[in-house]
Structure 1
Amino acid sequence: MSTIIERIKKIILSWPYVTAESHRFGGIEFRINKREMGHIHGDRLADLPFPMKIRNELVNSGRASPHHVLPQSGWVSYWINKGEEDIPAVIELFKMRYEQLKPRSQPKQKENSGMRNVSINK
């Protein structure tokens, strides 16, 4: 049976552009194009950065806690206390962060965009 972190890692790494590496304070860090999505310390704690507005919404709604070391920052912590039951909530937070960081595709330009059919008479 796989550990919680292995299950979470498998799901997150299935998303385009996501890579994983060792986190400097232990655990696994997930990145998109050199930007950190967040990290997980073992099977017990996930930390993710968000803009303050979103961070406050997550904390006020009870979906996450202020960061365990930097509570006034935009970072949130999610304590994995219920084991496998917590996996969907952790994935949801990482998905929110993924949506903020994933590359945006450029809109396709139509051929001859902005040009009208003009006939030129000599």
Structure 2
Amino acid sequence: MAKTDGTALIETVRSWPGVSLRPHRFGGTEFVANGKEIGHIHGVSLVDLMLPKAARDEAIELGKAVAHHVLPESNWVSVHLRTETDVRSALELLRFKYNLLITSEP
């Protein structure tokens, strides 16, 4: 398996305490914590997640993500998994969102 393959990303996120997986309504696999979506992956090559506006803007500015492929003006971002750096960026952003969700009230 290539290190840019999202399969390892899925297994990593699945291993975080309290995370479950379910089918996403627009296809792919959704990561859930505290009953809320962390983000989702389409196939093994595209991760989407919603961030607070400041975090969204910073992720895009730093090149860790791009504006969402369908809703570019929203707080959603997309990470195309093409390189090992992309996978690391996606995991970093998913972990950030996970931490937000597990520290907030359900």
TM-score (norm 2): 0.87
Deviation, 1:9, is 1.4
- After superposition, the Cα gap between the structure-2 partners of 1:23 and 1:54, relative to the gap in structure 1 and judged at 3 Å, is same
- Equivalences for 1:5-84 in 2 at 5 Å? 5-82=6-83, 84=84
The gaps in structure 1 that reach 5 residues or longer are: 105-122
Contact 2:39-2:94 at 8 Å conserved across structures: yes
* Structure of higher CA gyration radius: 1
CA distance in 2, matches of 1:103, 1:52: 18
2:90 corresponding residue in structure 1? 90
Letter in 2 for 1:66: A
Deviation, 1:89, is 1.8
Runs of 4+ in 1 over 2 A off after TM superposition: 1-6, 84-87
1:117 corresponding residue in structure 2? none
Backbone CA RMSD of aligned residues = 1.8
The gaps in structure 2 that reach 5 residues or longer are: none
Which of the pair has the greater relative contact order for Cα pairs under 8 Å at 6+ separation?
A: 2
Letter in 1 for 2:9: I
Q: How many pairs were matched up?
A: 103
Letter in 2 for 1:92: E
CA distance in 1, matches of 2:6, 2:65: 18
Q: State percent identity of aligned pairs.
A: 42
2:100 corresponding residue in structure 1? 100
Q: Secondary structure at the match of 2:17?
A: coil
Alignment deviations for residues 4-34 of structure 1 (CA, whole Å, 9 cap, x no partner): 2321111111111111011111111001122
